[in-house]
Structure 1
């Protein structure tokens, strides 16, 4: 019986934060040492941070990463540690993992398959390492084994799949299994998306079963670089069973997940399952390093603890965005948040998510530690509600078209979450702008002919005051637009889109309304309901920019939100032509009739084409799923286009035949 403790660490790193990143790596190594860990897998590019973007082109980034690696070497005495960093070889950059043992560099492996879809842009900065390629890498006056290899350290055979390597059909693990590796480490930077953790889990379990090796999977946690949230999922599997799993979406900087594996048992299982040829060392490069590894004691076999919260999209959304806000606040060095609270669903959701951020952080870290992380004065560190009060200011900005309903709803939400609540009357500003323009053009403006302009000036008049307040307090102004509005440009640029961060721009309105009702009645696990949200949930969504007699609602202006979201997914995610979208809608919503479906489809495509410029100017948003409309990370579309004119003509022809 050969027992070895292996571990994976989740780290909350920040790009180019050399001292901070090094400190968190050291904390993970020291935690692992205290637990008797022999093999520790850290996330890919953990030294510089994954999200360095074009800074990977800087020679300084390469050199600083190597410097930090050298300083970490003495800390690995008596252990094996996998550390991720960029390297340069023959005028090309590679995303590499360096295996360090007992204070020495054993060798490096380059990532073979690069992530280049949407949010990932690795092929811009790195080259994929060629399969089967092995070199002696000359660097800093020394020679190191680099390339397609496995490592035999202290009698333990270790191989690597680096993040994307495990998501492709011809993954390196197949070759590693043929060479009888005992442990496959997967240092990853796998971003959060709804339901993605189940996919990851099946990849890890399947690999441990098929390859006959222990599989150790690590990743980042938190909002590393602004748009991307990492859930920190670390897993260890053996023989198709998950034997250890770390927490997800937590607020600490370092999480260590460890388990004891029986190497002899794994080799016996591998021998029974493998029908191929025996291992031939000549088929694959093996780099050996002699050292003594700590021997583990066999722990009692206990089932994995139940997750702290249910596997539910509403829970994932709540916790991912709350964690994203927490890290964005402290890493941007802002001193709080300002929200223009309209009394409607979107701004209420944003204010609640700030409240939830504080609730979850204090539940895990405690009040004092949360305040310390956020840089708040001691006077604010009495209760979670006091922290919210210190961090969040909500402002209701009324015009002549505002109602008591939205004013009272805004106040109720602010009081429920514990925010400071202010009111601005911006109607004098609106009237002054209107009079100025009327005087310049020589005519009065009226709703009959100037509807959109008169609506927009009200939204824009609200921006300067909240920007001023945010600047005075060193706070971050949060924009409140959602993904459904972004799809059709149903937002006033420099009005309700203004802000330094747009936390709900990645989520559709239909889900957001359903989520708010869930928060009202049930709420996240361990937090409970917020019944005061009823004041928002009973209203029909409205911009409230026309006179009250117009009875304005969003869905009258656009279309029912559930239908808008189906069109968006079909047209943008699935890339269907308008005539194909029509067939989707006709089968799902026949009750609306042909004329309305045609009207809504044409409206969507025309508004989508006209408003790409708005999406280009949105404040950074969080990536929550692979249906994001953010042109900087997922969904690129030309600012100027033909506007689907030909395709919409085809739609009329098809709908005419169907009719």
Structure 2
């Protein structure tokens, strides 16, 4: 007699907020694929019907109404939910209150609507703004709308926190945040005998975050035993975040299936063929767990007439050997896939990038190239959706790329926008990179526009501003630098709108890509409304150190040595005149900022992640930076907070950026702080000064004591022979 195994499908979907037809299509594809694979339970991501990123659209009754409409159309297909439990995420109103729910369906019936118990509220998340956490016990009757009743043939279903009792096992649901809270629902579920936990999630990508997520899931299934199935969304569903898939099946603390973080596929299914006897054996030998289980208060149950375990042609899953991406690999893949989603959904023909030859713009160019390479590989794997999207973008019905450069040449325009202050090296690097990736490249001088603007000022005021090296003041120098930067932004948008026209292509536009990294945003080391002002910015959440490592990584992936060369160059804005042989006139970013990019990373993490003000940041850095004197640490902290506060207003117009770091600077969605500051920080800085003086006083006393001790020792040595004679 053949043994029966649980066949569980974890589905990764690339959904789009409010795109109900698109989302429905993906959900149906995932159910059909799960059924073809023989699954008896299909799990989808959080809020997959509406899309996770609807934000204040969740306040609209339309969003919930259309979600029910989609669910009704799914349930209306007789064969779709036959002999498979479909666990679908959507918003649901109950007693005039909105809940983030899992809707559990089987054989055209709704078995249970399970609301989320704990909501994500902080940093990128505002769930408690729209939804209410479910805090009641027991099950309540949920009366279905007449149009849904007509489809499912039932008047009501159950609403609340319950266990699904199948013919051969029990199953319970978690939703995203419930995995992250200190006291998880899965603990009590497992103690009540639940053998399979299903978690439909909407978890965004952040560098190094997958390690934490894997740790939580393996811990959840190892402490209590059991199968833990996790389904996450993939892609940009309308905002700054990218959902990085990693859907998985875990049992007794081991991973048995794991979906790739980054890929262009719309729908992917990870199948878990699991032997539930392993769960029962694991738990049976865990005596202390059994004692807790005997005390566990039972949950309400909902009956599901289905065998989760079946005889299957699939072999049991084997433990997966984890090969987690390092940060530079995450950066090389995450932002490019975010760009791909943005490009194919925006109606644009491609991207425009002002390519300076520096690390930031080179990183963006390399990301576009790697995006093309990832799309090409996906097409070669048979992804027809990606091919159709690409043909629609380039307006070529029969286009089939052979190399990633074939794609880049049709969707990417770059331009080196030079002034008399630009360097020969950066020009050559920009040209080499553009040629290597295949972009349509222009070398353009903007001095004429710059001189004209200065001329307008001269006519109006009778004054001629000069750079500091030519005898001008700091304000004159800064103003002249900013003009160059802002002219580049104006020219960039002109090129983005008209280059397709110059090629005889009717309709469409290019998205202007931003090139400001998180360190520059944090410090405000950028011109407002310059090239930091763009349509979208793939590197706005990434620090300079990681960008350089990514350039080196992509130099090998894309076979472009110039990327490694750019990574090794010293960052410079090239906005001031440079006198050959005079090092002081060389404009280097870290010198001009008065702090290194690595120091800025530390400031950023302490400010946002550790929630440090000036004083607590100074006190932490005294120990983190023992190589610096307390006075120098104080100077650096003060300098950072001064420039942070005078430049904070720039964050209110920051280009929408890919979210990658937990200390992001995005004013509107992530970093909610004021933009008008008292830049003197009188109380905070005076406390720092007191501590510095105490340190210096203590150090001076130590030095004085050491000198006196040395003097006594010297005196003792000289008298030593006499004392010896007396003895």
Q: By the TM > 0.5 criterion, same fold?
A: yes
Tell me which of 190, 193, 201 is aligned to 1:188.
Answer: 201
Q: Distance in 1 between matches of 2:628 and 2:425?
A: 31
Task: Report the Cα offset of residue 60 of structure 1.
Answer: 0.8
Is structure 2 residue 480 aligned with structure 1 residue 480? no
1:541 partnered with 2:571: yes
Q: Does the Cα contact within 8 Å between 1:338 and 1:470 map onto a contact in 2? A: yes
Partner of 1:245: 258
Contact 1:251 1:365 in 2 (8 A): no
Structure 1 unaligned regions, length at least 5: none
User: What displacement does 1:586 show?
Assistant: 4.4
* Other-structure match for 1:416: 436
User: Which SS does the other structure have where 1:632 is aligned?
Assistant: coil
Aligned 8 A contact 2:358 2:572 in 1:
yes
Q: Give the alignment of 1:180-579 within 5 angstroms.
A: 180-273=193-286, 274-276=289-291, 283-291=298-306, 295-297=310-312, 299-300=314-315, 303-304=318-319, 306=321, 311-366=325-380, 369=384, 370-374=386-390, 375=392, 376=394, 377=396, 378-379=398-399, 381-447=401-467, 448-449=472-473, 450-472=476-498, 473=500, 474-520=509-555, 523=556, 527=557, 529-549=559-579, 550-558=585-593, 559-579=595-615
The 8 Å contact of residues 52 and 202 in structure 2, kept in 1 or not, is answered as yes
The offset of 1:115, in angstroms, is 0.3
Q: What is the rounded CA distance, in whole Å, between the counterparts of 2:166 and 2:409 in structure 1? A: 54
Contact 2:144 2:156 in 1 (8 A): yes
Aligned equivalents of 2:422, 2:293: Cα separation in 1:
78
Larger Rg: 2
1:5 alignment partner in structure 2: 7
Note if 1:94 corresponds to 2:99.
yes
The answer to whether the 8 A contact 1:260-1:298 is kept is no
Conserved 8 A contact 1:5-1:296 = no
Secondary structure at the counterpart of residue 256 of structure 2: strand
Instruction: Report the TM-score when normalising by structure 2.
Output: 0.86
Task: Answer yes or no: is the 8 Å Cα contact 1:371–1:387 preserved in 2.
Answer: no
**Deviation of the 1:567 alpha carbon:** 2.4
What's the CA shift string for 1:514-556, capped at 9, x where partnerless?
3323434xx4xxx354201244234211111111122111111
Aligned CA distance change for structure 1 residues 439 and 196 (closer, same or farther; 3 Å): same
Partners of 2:666 and 2:180 in 1: CA distance: 24
Q: By how many angstroms is 1:634 displaced? A: 2.1
Q: Give the TM-score of the pair, scaled to structure 1.
A: 0.94
Report the number of matched residues. 653
- 1:617 matched to which residue of 2? 653
State the match for 1:112 in structure 2.
117
Inter-partner Cα distance in structure 1 for 2:627 and 2:191: 58
Tell me the CA shift for residue 15 of structure 1: 0.6
Partner of 2:582: none
Following TM superposition, by how much is the alpha carbon of 1:178 offset from its aligned partner in structure 2, in angstroms? 2.6
Quote the Cα distance in structure 2 between the aligned partners of 1:264 and 1:560: 57
CA distance in structure 2 between the aligned counterparts of 1:655 and 1:515, rounded to whole angstroms:
39
Q: Say if 1:338 and 1:393, in contact at 8 Å, map to a contact too.
A: yes
Write out per-residue CA displacement over residues 351-380 of structure 1, whole angstroms, 9 at most, x where no aligned residue.
Answer: 011001111221122398444223222457
> What is the correspondence of 1:640-655 to structure 2 with a 5 Å cutoff?
640-643=676-679, 644-655=681-692
Once structures 1 and 2 are overlaid, which stretch shifts more, 452-461 or 209-218?
209-218
Instruction: Give CA-to-partner distance per residue, 1:428-460, whole Å, 9 cap, x none.
Output: 111111111121122111222211111100100
- Displacement after TM superposition at 1:560 (Å): 1.9
User: C-alpha distance in 2, partners of 1:509/1:280?
Assistant: 54
CA distance in 2, matches of 1:106, 1:652: 65
Structure 2 residues not aligned, in runs of 5+: 147-154, 501-508, 580-584, 697-727
